[in-house]
Chain A
């Protein structure tokens, strides 16, 4: 395969060499969408499988994702916006009153590595701020995190806010965090719940399809 080396370099997580290899493939006459799909995305699919089978650890997955982005940067002029955004755009954040962010960051990084465009709204995000971000970016996913039972109700308020502004049908709402569960997601009318970072990526992929 022409992209064997590129796929290997993404897995190893060597960004500089990935960028050089992408340039080499462009010079050899391969089209940017082909390099993206058969090289970079194919590599990240393998990375995803290796994470699932516990061969790769989370920081290694993140390094591969970063390497992929460096490869992508080389082709930014050649790629149409549609090629990159095909996989989904996510607004993610920790709800109002909650400052916990390592879980949210982890999901955010892994979503990027799975090919999603991620807009990180940060922590302590109020319902109207979430909705404004969704509106502004045209996102089709909203991912909310809460670690405290006291801040969980903010998820419900955010969904209500989405409905009020007529945006609810445009986005898939997914939620997570230690006190949250599937039952709560059902009660809120969220589109999905994930119990850990790996599950969140699977969930987002399944809703995207």
Chain B
């Protein structure tokens, strides 16, 4: 089987000591057990009551042992396979994978460079671009199509993603109805329910609402995932200072409690089903009322969450390649680099939102190209350093001697293609050559690359029978749901 592990071989970031992780875990247990949370899904409340939770109307208080039990049964690793059935990601441990985000209301048009409302074709374009980029490991919808019936938007996006890429997907869905159609298509793709359970094709993004509420739709999607073995994310988006405490530890503790609360419902429904822990660590800017994805406090809670995930030994949902800036400018470069580097260094597993600008409201294909390059460059970095006779090569130094050069030694030839990483859009030209090539900045070069790939890259076609099944199921849904 293909080895897809890519954990950093150099040092790791750590934000919390073991003692601090334990303290935050105990605080989360206290929140779940003594304060409790609102669960609006009736069947879930029954399931929780039968298991021993204290249920009073919609309020559910979770005893510690149910959380401990769920931690025992949840898998430490989730294997994700691409459309063709090849292993693509080993979620868990310190492996880091990257992909687009979902549901951006606006898109920077690659041709006009204008910001406009997102359309379904933007979903297709982003998928096709990511299919061609070597370091985009999975795809989300990127755009939220505003040119279709909102109740159809997720399923229609799913169809575009499946058609335009063989890479595994992370899906958002309105509720269990459209999600069920996606699961049915994936079941056809794999050739049966059991086969899909063995080789999941997509992961589903689900979220509770902070503080401490679990909507019906979130839980029914969570249950559908548990029933079918489709891995489920259950990641709240507590907004520090607004829907969660403003301090990092309080922000983290509430988020941990909300995600683990979902884990219990999920594991009670089907023990051993694959699950991803997470916290969308958004921070409310108290002056502009914007929700920053790149405030240092965001990074802190994010990194604390990953520390907690590794300590709990549960795969995590994470973030990378996003900026608050409205443009792909120096701020964007700085934020993309910092966030993505931290995610890789700490071993955050399934990192989305590549290509986000403007607080998760506007998408940029140029930014996706830039992040792909950044991830590629850093995958080289995190491979670590091989130190042995061949790489230290004292004999070559002897052969060359003082005043010689290494341009034509056998050792240089032997390592020429593997020793150095090559950029595709970062500039390595001298001034004159750069000027002769049009004095382009990074955004222009990334745009050129995106346009070229979109014009030339032909994703592997969906088999005829599957394409028919996909159309039939999607059309039946769109005919039925007004």
A105 near B: Cβ within 8 Å?
Answer: yes
Instruction: Say if the beta carbon of B407 comes within 8 Å of chain A.
Output: yes
B433 within 8 Å of A (CB atoms): yes
For chain A residues 105-125, which have a beta carbon within 8 Å of chain B? 105-106, 109
Q: Residue B413 at the A interface, CB < 8 A?
A: yes
- Bound-state Cα–Cα, A63 to B411, Å: 13
Bound CA–CA A131/B416 (angstroms):
38
Establish whether residues A105 and B405, one from each chain, have CB atoms under 8 Å apart when the complex forms: yes
* A62→B412 CA distance, assembly (Å): 12
Contact A196 B430 (CB under 8 A): yes
Q: Which residues of B have CB within 8 Å of A195?
A: 430-433
Q: Is B465 an interface residue (CB 8 A)?
A: no
Q: Is the CB of B433 within 8 A of A199?
A: yes
Taking CB atoms, residues of chain A closer than 8 Å to B408 are: 59, 62-63, 66, 109
Name the CB-closest residue of B to A195.
B432
With the chains together, A59 CA to B415 CA distance in Å?
11
Partner of B407, one of A106, A196, A198, A199: A106
Chain B: interface size category: 10 to 19
Closest to A123 in B: B403
Residues from chain A with a CB closer than 8 A to the CB of B413 are 59-60, 63
CA distance A176 to B261 in the complex (A): 68
Taking the nearest CB of chain B, how far is it from the CB of A175, in angstroms? 14
Mostly helix, strand, loop or mixed at chain B's interface?
Answer: helix
Give A184 Cβ to nearest chain B Cβ, in Å.
Answer: 13
Contact of A59 among B403, B416, B430, B432 (CB under 8 A): B416
Q: Is the CB of A102 within 8 A of B405?
A: yes
Given contacts A60-B416, A63-B413, contact A196 B433 (CB under 8 A): yes
Using CB atoms, name the residue of chain B closest to A58. B407
- CB of B408, distance to nearest CB on chain A (Å): 5
Beta-carbon contact of A57 and B416 below 8 Å: yes
Contacting residues, chain A, for B405 (C-beta < 8 A): 102, 105
Rounded to whole Å, the gap between the CB of A19 and the closest CB of chain B is 18
For the complex, what is the distance from the CA of A58 to the CA of B422, rounded to whole Å? 14
The A11-62 residues at the B interface (CB cut-off 8 A) are 57-60, 62
Q: Cα distance A58–B405 when bound, in Å?
A: 13
- A109 touches which of B403, B407, B430, B433 (Cβ 8 Å): B407
- Tell me how far the C-beta of A65 lies from the nearest C-beta in chain B, rounded to whole angstroms: 9
Kindly count the residue-residue contacts between A and B in the assembled complex, taking CB atoms under 8 Å apart: 32
What is the minimal beta-carbon distance from A13 to any residue of chain B, in angstroms? 8
Q: Please tell me the size bucket of the interface on A.
A: 10 to 19
In the complex, chain B residues 427-456 whose Cβ is within 8 Å of any chain A Cβ: 430-433
Is the pair B416, A199 in contact by a Cβ cutoff of 8 Å? no
In the assembly, what is the distance between CA of A57 and CA of B416, in Å?
8
* B433 surroundings in chain A (CB, below 8 A): 195-196, 198-199
Max chain A CB contacts within 10 Å: which of B403, B407, B417? B407
Which listed residue (B407, B417, B431, B432) contacts A62, Cβ 8 A? B407
**Smallest CB gap from A65: residue in B:** B408
Question: Which B-chain residue is minimally distant from A198 (CB atoms)?
Answer: B433
Q: Which residues of B contact A58 (CB under 8 A)?
A: 407
Which residues of chain A are within 8 angstroms of B416 by Cβ–Cβ distance?
Answer: 57, 59-60
State in angstroms the CA–CA spacing of A63 and B430 once bound together.
24
Interface string of B399-413 (1 = CB under 8 A from A): 000010101100011
Q: Given that A58-B407, A106-B407 are contacting pairs, would A199 and B412 also be in contact in the complex, using a CB cutoff of 8 Å?
A: no
Contacts of B417 in A (CB 8 A): 57
Q: Residues of A contacting B407 with CB < 8 Å? A: 58-59, 62, 105-106, 109
Q: What residues of chain B lie closer than 8 Å to A60, measured between beta carbons?
A: 413, 416
Residues of A within 8 A of B412 (CB): 59
Question: A56-96 vs B: 1/0 string, CB under 8 Å?
Answer: 01111011001000000000000000000000000000000
Return A62 CB to nearest CB of chain B, in Å: 5
CA distance A130 to B73 in the complex (A): 80
What is the minimal beta-carbon distance from A131 to any residue of chain B, in angstroms?
25
A61 to B148, CA, bound (A): 55
Q: For the complex, what is the distance from the CA of A57 to the CA of B415, rounded to whole Å?
A: 12
- Shortest CB-to-CB span from B434 to chain A, Å, is 10
Question: By CB atoms of chain A within 10 A, which of B412, B417, B431 has the most?
Answer: B412
Chain B residues contacting A63 (CB-CB under 8 Å) are 408, 413
- Report the separation of the CA atoms of residues A106 and B405 in the bound assembly, to the nearest whole angstrom: 10
- Residues from chain B with a CB closer than 8 A to the CB of A59 are 407-408, 412-413, 416
* Closest beta carbon of chain A to B196's beta carbon, Å: 43
B314 to chain A minimum Cβ distance, whole angstroms, is 44
- Bound form: Cα–Cα A66–B413 in Å: 13
Q: With a CB–CB cut-off of 8 A, which chain B residues contact A101? A: 403
Provide the bound-state CA to CA distance between A105 and B400, in Å: 14
Residues of A within 8 Å of B432, CB to CB, are 195-196, 199
Which residue of A is nearest B428, CB measured? A54
- The answer for the CA separation of A198 and B403 in the assembled complex, in Å, is 23
Closest CB of chain B to A174's CB: distance in Å? 14
Q: In the bound complex, how far is the Cα of B433 from the Cα of A135, in angstroms? A: 34
Give min CB distance, B55 to chain A, whole Å: 66
CB-CB contacts of A173-209 with B at 8 A, as 1s and 0s?
Answer: 0000000000000000000000110110000000000
* Whole-angstrom CA separation of A59 from B408 in the bound complex: 6
Q: What 6 pairs across the A-B complex have the smallest Cβ distances?
A: A195-B432, A196-B430, A195-B430, A62-B408, A59-B412, A59-B407
Could you write out 30 A-B pairs with CB less than 8 Å apart?
A57-B416, A57-B417, A58-B407, A59-B407, A59-B408, A59-B412, A59-B416, A60-B413, A60-B416, A62-B407, A62-B408, A63-B408, A63-B413, A66-B408, A101-B403, A102-B405, A105-B405, A105-B407, A106-B407, A109-B407, A109-B408, A195-B430, A195-B431, A195-B432, A195-B433, A196-B430, A196-B432, A196-B433, A198-B433, A199-B433
- A-B contacts besides A60-B413, A199-B432, 5 pairs, CB < 8 Å: A59-B408, A59-B412, A66-B408, A109-B407, A196-B433
A residues apposed to B, CB below 8 Å: 57-60, 62-63, 66, 101-102, 105-106, 109, 195-196, 198-199
